[in-house]
């Protein structure tokens, strides 16, 4: 890998900062075409059954109400690949909150009142919403998410575990978690002369365009989807969501532009969540802590609408050497909302369980938890036998330990008392795969010295606008100021979504390729640039789609210090420090934001976030920010993020790994391990709220 040209690797201020702070950045629901109408959905109020009648008389009575769409009156669409998008197509109610009607009116208030006046009669059928470890419907799926094998066995776990002198065996419990971005899922749709224009809050507008074209029987060229600014997604906007389908249907039905922003109270049921997980981890080791037997068995649930299997046992195939290993996933389909991608899917819950188990093993074996991880460092990826393209977990652990002053730590739990407070520290490791998808981009050089790059990347607040301009400027060897970047609408060269921590690698590779080729063309140009400039197109179908013979992952180490109030049971985070090995860091300023943002999500997962499915009602009890507690500023201490600069030539031309999600991965385990060190209490359930801790404090 050659050294990057500036401005790559420099801490550039995000290019959309001014638009964001002055409010001129417009989001999906902030576009109001002339004549725009407003829509409000009607969610099902039963847990399972059928709609037998919809009475819209009262709803349609007030002037200004344009329509109530039901499964009788809504436009018929082609069956979507994702069945959660087949809204208002039949009478089936697969779960509470599933949409059964949509009111459309001249005003938002009118639409909301009309929705409330719709009378729906149901046939109620028996329902089952509770996941248990021995649920009769559990089965082994063909694969877990991401095409990962549902089950993998190496060696003979049972025999090795039985023979191990040091053993841990525990089950870790996580309830459902919701993404809850600040900006709700929203879309504004307009039909004009057979062309559909949509503003949608989405992590990828090329896939939204393709989905709408297929569902509404249009050519992709007849649809334009804008996603210029997106107020967070966290996975819940990684696939098209019902709001965009409903807005398009309503616009088609009424002949008016239609705007639909899903109310916060409805989001929990229709835009995905992390499914609850029951994870049993068994570790068998020698007295030296060397693991000889490792089992990570995941039990989870999906909905009856679609199978989604959180691949939580996958990191156990990546992290530590064990000659005898079993990793498995089982799932059951219940009458609940459909789970989906959320904040480091697979790795985040899986590493919570595995890294808590590692801490339990450290205690059982009497080995320092940093040292335990160093001792179990594999030479090749255990699950595949492939060499790592780069793996600097040990460097992260050592650097983190140094910065955190870990060496001075007294391993005894429950002995650091400050008045009513008990204080402790914990560590956990993190990993996240290097993902990349094919992408297209064009680069244009104009005679006035301006370069224009076009790629349908989506900047969901992460800094894509900034880092892609840096990549272009570096490849063109031109100042950043001469680079203009067009992104955020589906008329641009097609691009994959902002997800899987793969955006910068995927889009940046195509931008780099187009700009490198353009620079070559310009050098070979005999005279001045032609008046209309020179354009080069590039795609990375070959290189980004190719299988690597290397195991490619980012790694990290989290260190946490907590105080536990022995009177109230409250846990507060005092310090959180992360050190990452994530390839080359292309913009230290925005990268730091990514890391500490992920760590803050991990703090929420550890202490405050959780969705309780009421078993008799079949819906989530938490459906607003008053009940679903994402961390507020006062919860978050000074968080430190650092990194090891890696020089890995087996990734992409920028040498980068994804950084969007690794910050969350091990944070909850590090905090839980610190709670154990503080109190001597091993909590195996998230979130670690006062009511779970207080009864166990003596």
* Straight-line distance from the first to the last Cα atom of the chain, in angstroms, rounded to the nearest whole number: 57
Q: Judged by CB, which is closer to ligand MOS: 203, or 327?
A: 203
Structural contact between residues 47 and 95, judged by C-beta atoms closer than 8 angstroms: yes
Q: What's the min distance (Å) between Cβ of 660 and ligand MOS?
A: 7
Q: Judged by CB, which is closer to ligand MOS: 406, or 555?
A: 555
What gap in Å lies between CA 434 and CA 689, rounded to an integer? 33
Joined tokens for residue 53: 């009648």
Q: What's the min distance (Å) between Cβ of 630 and ligand MOS?
A: 15
Joined tokens for residue 541: 């179908």
Structural contact between residues 41 and 116, judged by C-beta atoms closer than 8 angstroms: no
Q: Judged by CB, which is closer to ligand MOS: 7, or 272?
A: 272
Joined tokens for residue 324: 């005898």
Q: What's the min distance (Å) between Cβ of 238 and ligand MOS?
A: 4
Q: Judged by CB, which is closer to ligand MOS: 235, or 672?
A: 235
Strands 571-581 and 553-565: antiparallel
Cα→Cα distances 118→38, 40, 41, 63, 91, Å: 16, 11, 10, 15, 15
Q: Judged by CB, which is closer to ligand MOS: 312, or 562?
A: 312
Q: What's the min distance (Å) between Cβ of 375 and ligand MOS?
A: 32
What gap in Å lies between CA 137 and CA 334, rounded to an integer? 9
The set of residues, in sequence order, having a beta carbon less than 8 Å from that of 419 and lying 6+ positions away, is none
Q: Judged by CB, which is closer to ligand MOS: 516, or 652?
A: 652
What gap in Å lies between CA 462 and CA 437, rounded to an integer? 18
From 130, 360, 661, 685, the catalytic residue: 661
Q: Judged by CB, which is closer to ligand MOS: 622, or 661?
A: 661
Q: What's the min distance (Å) between Cβ of 179 and ligand MOS?
A: 8
Q: Judged by CB, which is closer to ligand MOS: 39, or 351?
A: 351
Q: What's the min distance (Å) between Cβ of 668 and ligand MOS?
A: 16
Strands 37-43 and 258-261: parallel
Structural contact between residues 474 and 516, judged by C-beta atoms closer than 8 angstroms: no
Q: What's the min distance (Å) between Cβ of 340 and ligand MOS?
A: 8
Dihedral class, residue 277 (left if φ above 0, else alpha if ψ from -120 to 50, else beta) = beta
Residue nearest to ligand MOS (CB): 235
Residues comprising the chain, all counted: 698
What gap in Å lies between CA 580 and CA 372, rounded to an integer? 19
Establish whether the linkage from the previous residue to 141 is cis, with ω within 30° of 0.
Answer: no
Q: Judged by CB, which is closer to ligand MOS: 343, or 584?
A: 343
Q: What's the min distance (Å) between Cβ of 498 and ligand MOS?
A: 7
Nearest to 312 by CA among 357, 359, 378: 357
Backbone angles phi, psi at 495, to 5 degrees: -145, 155
**190: enclosing H helix or E strand:** strand 186-192
Backbone angles phi, psi at 575, to 5 degrees: -140, 145
What gap in Å lies between CA 301 and CA 331, rounded to an integer? 5
Structural contact between residues 137 and 333, judged by C-beta atoms closer than 8 angstroms: yes
What gap in Å lies between CA 250 and CA 210, rounded to an integer? 19
Joined tokens for residue 609: 């976030």
Structural contact between residues 309 and 151, judged by C-beta atoms closer than 8 angstroms: no
Q: Cβ of 219: how many Cβ atoms within 10 Å?
A: 8
Q: Judged by CB, which is closer to ligand MOS: 203, or 328?
A: 203
Structural contact between residues 355 and 182, judged by C-beta atoms closer than 8 angstroms: no
Burial class (CB in 10 A: 0-12, 13-18, 19+), 122: middle
User: What interhelical angle do 347-365 and 667-679 show, nearest 10?
Assistant: 30
Burial class (CB in 10 A: 0-12, 13-18, 19+), 306: middle
The residue ranges that bind ligand MOS (CB under 6 A) are 203, 233, 235, 238, 341-343, 345, 499-500
Q: What's the min distance (Å) between Cβ of 241 and ligand MOS?
A: 13
Active site residue 661: yes
Q: Please compute, for residue 111, the number of CA atoms within 13 A of its CA located in the half-sphere on the CB side.
A: 26
What gap in Å lies between CA 110 and CA 22, rounded to an integer? 30
Q: Judged by CB, which is closer to ligand MOS: 67, or 668?
A: 668
Which residues are known catalytic residues? 661
């Amino acid at each position: 890998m050659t050294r990057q040209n500036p401005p790559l690797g420099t801490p550039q201020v995000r290019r959309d900062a001014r638009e964001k702070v002055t409010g001129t950045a417009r989001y999906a629901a902030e576009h109001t075409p002339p004549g725009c109408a407003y829509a409000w959905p009607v969610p099902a109020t039963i847990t399972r059954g059928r709609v037998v009648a919809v009475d819209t008389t009262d709803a349609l009575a007030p002037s200004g109400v344009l329509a109530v769409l039901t499964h009788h009156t809504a436009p018929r669409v082609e069956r979507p690949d994702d069945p959660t998008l087949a809204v208002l197509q039949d009478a089936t109610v697969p779960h509470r909150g599933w949409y059964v009607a949509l009111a459309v009116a001249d005003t938002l208030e009118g639409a909301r009142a009309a929705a409330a006046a719709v009378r729906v009669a149901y046939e109620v059928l028996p329902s089952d919403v509770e996941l248990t470890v021995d649920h009769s419907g559990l089965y082994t799926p063909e694969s877990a998410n991401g095409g990962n094998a549902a089950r993998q066995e190496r060696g003979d776990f049972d025999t090795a575990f039985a023979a191990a002198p040091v053993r841990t065996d525990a089950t870790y419990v996580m309830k459902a978690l919701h993404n809850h971005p600040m900006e709700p899922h929203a879309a504004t749709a307009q039909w004009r002369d057979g062309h559909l224009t949509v503003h949608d809050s989405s992590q990828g507008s090329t896939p939204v365009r393709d989905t709408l074209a297929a569902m509404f029987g249009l050519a992709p060229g007849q649809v334009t989807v804008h996603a210029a600014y997106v107020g967070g997604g966290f996975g819940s906007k990684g696939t098209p969501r019902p709001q965009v389908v409903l807005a398009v249907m309503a616009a088609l039905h009424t002949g008016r532009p239609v705007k639909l922003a899903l109310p916060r109270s409805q989001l929990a049921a229709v835009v995905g969540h992390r499914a609850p997980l029951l994870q049993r981890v068994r570790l068998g080791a020698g007295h030296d802590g060397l693991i000889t037997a490792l089992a990570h068995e995941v039990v989870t649930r999906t909905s009856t609408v679609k199978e989604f299997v959180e691949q939580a046992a996958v990191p156990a195939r990546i992290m530590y050497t064990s000659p005898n290993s079993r990793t498995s996933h089982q799932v059951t389909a219940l009458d609940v909302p459909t789970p989906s991608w959320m904040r480091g899917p697979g790795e985040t819950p899986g590493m919570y369980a595995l890294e808590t188990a590692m801490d339990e093993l450290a205690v059982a074996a009497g080995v320092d938890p940093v040292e335990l991880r160093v001792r179990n460092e594999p030479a090749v990826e255990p699950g595949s036998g492939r060499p790592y393209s780069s793996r600097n977990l040990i460097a992260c652990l050592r650097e983190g330990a140094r910065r955190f002053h870990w060496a001075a730590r007294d391993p005894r739990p429950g002995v650091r008392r400050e008045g009513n407070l008990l204080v402790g520290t914990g560590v956990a490791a993190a990993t996240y795969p290097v993902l990349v998808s094919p992408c297209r981009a064009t680069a244009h050089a104009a005679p006035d010295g301006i370069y224009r790059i076009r790629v349908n990347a989506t900047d969901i607040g992460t800094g894509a606008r900034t880092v892609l301009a840096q990549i272009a400027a570096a490849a063109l060897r031109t100042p950043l100021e001469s680079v203009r970047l067009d992104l955020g609408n589906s008329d641009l060269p097609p691009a994959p979504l902002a997800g899987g921590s793969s955006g910068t690698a995927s889009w940046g590779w195509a931008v780099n390729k187009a700009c490198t080729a353009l620079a070559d063309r310009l050098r070979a140009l005999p005279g001045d640039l032609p008046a209309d400039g020179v354009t080069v197109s590039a795609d990375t179908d070959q290189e980004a789609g190719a299988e690597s013979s290397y195991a490619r992952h980012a790694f990290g180490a989290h260190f946490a210090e907590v105080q536990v109030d022995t009177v109230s049971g409250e846990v507060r985070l005092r310090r959180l420090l992360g050190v990452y090995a994530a390839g080359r860091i292309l913009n230290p300023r925005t990268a730091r934001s990514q890391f500490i943002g992920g760590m803050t999500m991990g703090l929420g997962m550890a202490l405050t976030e959780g969705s309780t499915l009421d078993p008799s009602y079949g819906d989530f009890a938490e459906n607003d920010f008053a009940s679903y507690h994402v961390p507020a500023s006062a919860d978050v201490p000074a968080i430190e993020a650092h990194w090891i600069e890696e020089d890995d030539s087996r990734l992409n031309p920028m040498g980068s790994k994804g950084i969007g999600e690794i910050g969350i991965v091990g944070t909850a385990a590090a905090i839980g391990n610190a709670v154990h060190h503080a109190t001597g209490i091993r909590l195996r359930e998230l979130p670690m709220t006062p009511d779970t801790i207080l009864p166990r404090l003596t």
